[in-house]
Structure 1
C-alpha cells in the first residue's frame, strides 16, 4: 500500500511539474500562470522531485 501511494504521488508531482513548466513557458494558455517565469522555473524542480520519488520507490531492495 505504501508503494502505491508513493507511486501515485510521484506521478502527480511529475505531471504537475510538466504542466507548470508548459504554462510558465506559454505553451498552455488559459491560466494566470501562463507566461510567468516563476512557473517555468518551479515546474522542472517539482517534476524532478516526482521522478526522484518514482526512482526511489521502484529501485528495489538492496541484495544482502
Structure 2
C-alpha cells in the first residue's frame, strides 16, 4: 500500500492533490501512531511519503 501511495502522491503537496483531504487526515493518523507511539519508522523508506508526513506533522491541526 505504501508503494501505491508513494506513486500516487507524485509531486503533489497532499495525497489526493493540492489541498488536504480526509485521505491525508486518515493516513496521517496511521503514520503518527506508528512513528510516535510505537517508534516504528513507518513510511520512512518512501521519500515522498516521508516528506509529506514531516510537512503535515508541522501543521497546527496535527499537534496534540
TM-score (norm 2): 0.32
Between structures 1 and 2, the one with greater helix share? 1
Q: Which one has the largest radius of gyration?
A: 1
Structure 1 length-normalised TM: 0.32
